[in-house]
Structure 1
Amino acid sequence: MNDVILWFQENQAGIFYYVGRLLIALMIIVGGFVISKAIGRTMIRRLDKSQIDNAVVSFLVGILRTIIVVAALLMALSHVGIQTTSFIAILGAAGLAVGLALQGSLSNFASGVLIMIYRPFYSGDYVEAGNIAGTVLSIELFNTVLKTPDNKVVTVPNSQITNSPITNYSRQPTRRVDMVIGVSYAADLKKTKEVLMQVINEDERVLPDPEPRVAVTELGDSSVNLIVRPWVDSADYWPVYWDMMEKIKIRLDENGIGIPFPQMDVHLHQAGSDEGPIRIQSVLSDKNAAKNTATDNEQH
C-alpha cells in the first residue's frame, strides 16, 4: 500500500495531466452527440418545410449525425495522444472499397434523393420516365415503381429515370388534344373548318379558354391536312380524343367531305406490242395511320 501511495505521489503531475485530457476527450464526445442532435433537429425542421419525403429527411439527418459523432470521436482520440492518421486512412480505404462495390446502387440512391428533393413527379402522376410510361405507385430511395396502362408493375432504377427526359402528363390541370385530319383537295376548306368547329363546340368537355383551334397545317401528297386542337381537363384527354375522332369521321361523311388515302398509278409496257401501256391503279396503305397506335402507351 505504501508503494502505491509513493508511486502516486511521484507521478501525481502526470496522472492529473492525463486525467484532465481524458475528461476533455469525454467532453468532446458528449459535445459531439449534443451538437449532432441539435443540428439534426434543425435540419428536420428546415427540410419539413420544403416538403421533402420523410424517408429522405431521416436518412440525410442520420448521415449528418453519424459524420459529426465520428469526427468528435477522432478529435477525442487525438486529444488523449492516440494517432488517428491510421484510423482515417482505414476509413478512407473502406469507404473507397464500398463505393466501388456499390457504384450502381449508390448511383440509384443519389438519383432517388434528387427525385425526392426536386419532385418532378408525385405518386399517382402519369409519367413517361426511363423509357417507361405509367402511373407512379411509389418513389423509393433506389427505385421508382410504375404501373403501365395494361396493368403491369415495372420497377425502374432511379438512375435510369434521372438520366433520361421525364414527361409528366398529370402535372398541369389541362392539356391540348392534338389531331391531324386530312381531307381531299376537292373539299371545300371553309365548310370543312366549320364542320370541325361544330364537332368541337358540341362537346361539353372542351374548355372555352384557351380557345380551340382549327387550321390548315400542310398540303400533303394526297390530302390537305388540318390541325384540330381543343383544350380539355387532363383527366378527359383520351375520352375526348377517341370520341372526337369518331364524330369527325361521321360528320365529314354526312357532309360529303372525303378523307383520301395515298394512291399510285402504275403503267406497264409490253415489249414488242403496238398497244398502249396498260394502266393499273394501285392503292397503297397509309403508313402514317400506324403512328396513331403508338400513343396508346399514354392511356390512363
Structure 2
Amino acid sequence: MRWLIIITLFYSLLSFAEEAEQAPETKPDEFAKIEQMEVEMAELYKESLDKVGTAKNIIDMQMLKKNEDIRAELQKLIKNRTEQNTPKVTKFVNEQVEYLTLAIDFLSKRITTLQNDLDEVELEQKLITQKTLNETNAFYHTILSEQWVNFEWLELLGSPADKSKQALIRDIEQRLDFLSAKLSFDNQQESVLASQIKSAADEEKDSLQLQYIFAQRDVSSDIDNLQFIVDLANKMKIDTTDYTKQLFVISGNLTNELLDYKVILSLLSDGLKDFRDWLGQNTPQALFKIFIFLLIIFIFKILKNVTRHIVTRAVSPPTLRMSQLMKDFFISISGNTVLCIGILIALSQIGLNLAPVLTGFGVAGVIIGFALQDTLSNFASGMMLLIYRPFDVDDFVEAGGTSGKVSHMSLVSTTIKTFDNQILIVPNSKIWGDTIKNITHEKVRRVDMVFGVSYGDDIEKTETVLEAILADHPMVLRSPEPTIKLHILNSSSVDFIVRPWVKTEDYWDVYWDVTREVKMRFDREGISIPFPQQDVHLHMIKNEDIPK
C-alpha cells in the first residue's frame, strides 16, 4: 500500500526527466548532482512498474532513500545560496512542495479508506488492517513535517508561501483535535475491556483478549501520532498545553514540554479542581466514616484496658504458680488481640476490603519471616522459656554466659542486672541454647565451705569449735542439720568441710559471717590455719672433705 504513494510523489519526476533528455543544456555544477538524482529516481520508478513483491519493495526503498538525498542536497544549496542560484533553488523547493501536496491528498484519502475498512473487517483481520493504517498515519505525519520544512525554506529564499503555510497550520490544528479525541476514546475503550476481561467467562476471554490487544495498539499508536504532531505544532508556535498534559496523564511519559510553566500550571489547576470536586462530593460521607472509625477505635481501646485488667486479675492468684513472663504474655496478647479486632472492624466500616489486606499480611509475614530469622529464633526460645519456666523475674541466674538478677523478661530477650549493677540484655536463643543455673529458685540452700588446720592441732577440739560457731549463728537452720566432717589430709593442712543450710536470701551473709567467725575463734582457741610452706635444711661441711 505505502508504495502507491511513491507513484504519486514521483509522477512529475518522470516528466521532468524526459524534458531533461530532450533539452540537454549545460547546468551549473551545483545543480548537476540534484538533477542527476532526480533522473535516477525517474529510472527507478520506471523499473518498479514491472516489479512485484519483495523486488518492488526494495526499489521503493531505494526511491525513498534517493528523495532523502535530494532534500539533503537542497538543504546544502539553501545554506550556501547566492543571488545567482536562488531562483533555481526556489524552483526545486516549489517542486518538492507540489510533490508533497499530492502525497498529502493521496494519504488523507487512503487513511479514510483504511479507517472504513477497519470498521468493516472481521476481528481476526483487524490487526493486519490496523498495522497498515498505523504505518500510513506515520508516513502521512512525516510528509506533513517535511512540507513545513519546505515552507521554511521558501521563507529563507525570499519566496514565502503564506497562504499554503497558514493552510498547513490549520490542518495541523485540526489534526491535533482529532488525535486528542481519538486518544481519549481509545484509552477509555482499553480501560473498559480490561475490566471486562477480569469478570468474563472463560469462553468470552479469548475474544475480549483480542479486542484488548487491538485497543492497546490503538492507544500506543495514538500516543506516538499525537506526540509527533505536538512536536510539529510547537515548531509552528501553536499552543499545545492541553495536548501535552493529556499525553502525560495517559502515558505517564516525561517530556521536555512538561517543563513549560503553562503545562505545569494546567496540571496543577486540574489537580486542584479535581480535589475540590472530590471534597465537595465526598466530604460529608468521609467525615462520617472517619467519625465511625475513631469511635470504634476508642471503644475497643477501652475494651482493651478492661480485658487487660480482667486477665491480670485472672493470672494473679498464687495458686496458679505462673511465671511473670507467662503472666505478662497473657495480659499483653489479650489486650492486643482485642485492639486488632477493633482495628479490622473499623477498617471494614470505612469501606476497606479486608480480604486483600489479610492476604497481604500473610505474604508480608512470609517475607518478614525470612528476613528476621534470628528474631524469630529468639521468639521461639522465649516461648520455650514461657512454657518450661526455668527462672522468673527477680531470680538470680547464670545463663547465656552471664550471671545476675533477672529484672525483666520478654519473648525476645531477657534483661539481667549484674551484681555490680550493670544491665545486660541477652537474646533468649542464647539463654535457651546454653546451661541455665537458677541460683534462687529453691527457698533453702546449702553453704559449702572448707577450712584447714595444721597437723598438730586437736581434731576433736576443732570440730567442737566449728559446731559452736554454726550453733551460735541465728541464720543457720537447725533442719536440715549442718554437716561438719574431716574431709581430706592435704599436703600442708587437715581440711574440714562445713556445710550449713540457710534460707536462700541469707546465703552470702552466712558465708561471710561464718568465715570471719572461724578465723577469730581459731585464733582464740590456739588453732592454727596453715598455709603452704617448705622447710630448707642446710648441712655444713669442712674444707678437707671437699674433693680436690
Give the TM-score of the pair, scaled to structure 2: 0.34
Q: How does 1:109-120 map to 2 (within 5 A)?
A: 109-120=379-390
Which residue does the alignment assign to 1:212?
A: 482
1:53 paired with 2:323, answer no
Cα displacement (A) at 1:221: 0.9
Structure 1 residues 204 and 54: alpha-carbon distance in aligned structure 2, compared to 1, 3 A threshold: closer
Unaligned runs of at least 5 residues, structure 1: 1-14, 16-40, 67-86, 277-300
Amino acid in structure 1 at the alignment position of 2:501: W
Residue of 511, 517, 522 corresponding to 1:247: 517
SS at match of 1:138: strand
Q: How does 1:196-207 map to 2 (within 5 A)?
A: 196-207=466-477
Which residue does the alignment assign to 2:436?
A: 166
Which residue does the alignment assign to 1:234?
A: 504
SS at match of 2:479: coil
Which residue does the alignment assign to 2:146?
A: none
Which residue does the alignment assign to 1:72?
A: none
Structure 1 residues 251 and 98: alpha-carbon distance in aligned structure 2, compared to 1, 3 A threshold: same
Cα displacement (A) at 1:165: 1.4
Structure 1 residues 268 and 125: alpha-carbon distance in aligned structure 2, compared to 1, 3 A threshold: same
Cα displacement (A) at 1:166: 1.3
Cα displacement (A) at 1:96: 5.9
Question: Higher helix proportion, which one?
Answer: 2
Separation in 1, partners of 2:535, 2:365: 72
Separation in 2, partners of 1:262, 1:275: 36
SS at match of 1:263: coil
Cα displacement (A) at 1:269: 9.9
Structure 1 stretches of 4+ with a deviation exceeding 3 A read 47-51, 56-62, 94-100, 265-270, 273-276
Amino acid in structure 1 at the alignment position of 2:391: F
Cα displacement (A) at 1:131: 1.8
* 1:190-222 Cα shifts (integer Å, max 9, x gaps): 110000000000111111100011001111111
Separation in 2, partners of 1:172, 1:205: 16
Which residue does the alignment assign to 1:177?
A: 447
Which residue does the alignment assign to 2:259?
A: none
Count how many residue pairs are aligned between Structure 1 and Structure 2.
210
Residue of 518, 527, 532 corresponding to 1:257: 527
Cα displacement (A) at 1:150: 0.8
Whose relative contact order is higher, 1 or 2, with alpha carbons under 8 Å and at least 6 apart?
1
1:106 paired with 2:376, answer yes
Separation in 2, partners of 1:58, 1:235: 31
Separation in 2, partners of 1:262, 1:164: 38
Separation in 1, partners of 2:432, 2:539: 60
Separation in 1, partners of 2:485, 2:329: 50
Whether the aligned pair in 2 keeps the contact of 1:53 and 1:116 (CA below 8 Å) is no
* 1:20-78 Cα shifts (integer Å, max 9, x gaps): xxxxxxxxxxxxxxxxxxxxx9xx9xx9668333426755996xx99xxxxxxxxxxxx
* 1:143-184 Cα shifts (integer Å, max 9, x gaps): 100111111111111111111111112211111111100110
1:132 paired with 2:402, answer yes
Question: Higher strand proportion, which one?
Answer: 1
Identity of aligned residues (%): 44
Greater gyration radius: 2
Which residue does the alignment assign to 2:65?
A: none
Whether the aligned pair in 2 keeps the contact of 1:53 and 1:117 (CA below 8 Å) is no
Structure 1 residues 57 and 268: alpha-carbon distance in aligned structure 2, compared to 1, 3 A threshold: farther
1:193 paired with 2:463, answer yes
Unaligned runs of at least 5 residues, structure 2: 1-200, 202-306, 342-358
SS at match of 2:514: helix
Give the TM-score of the pair, scaled to structure 1: 0.61
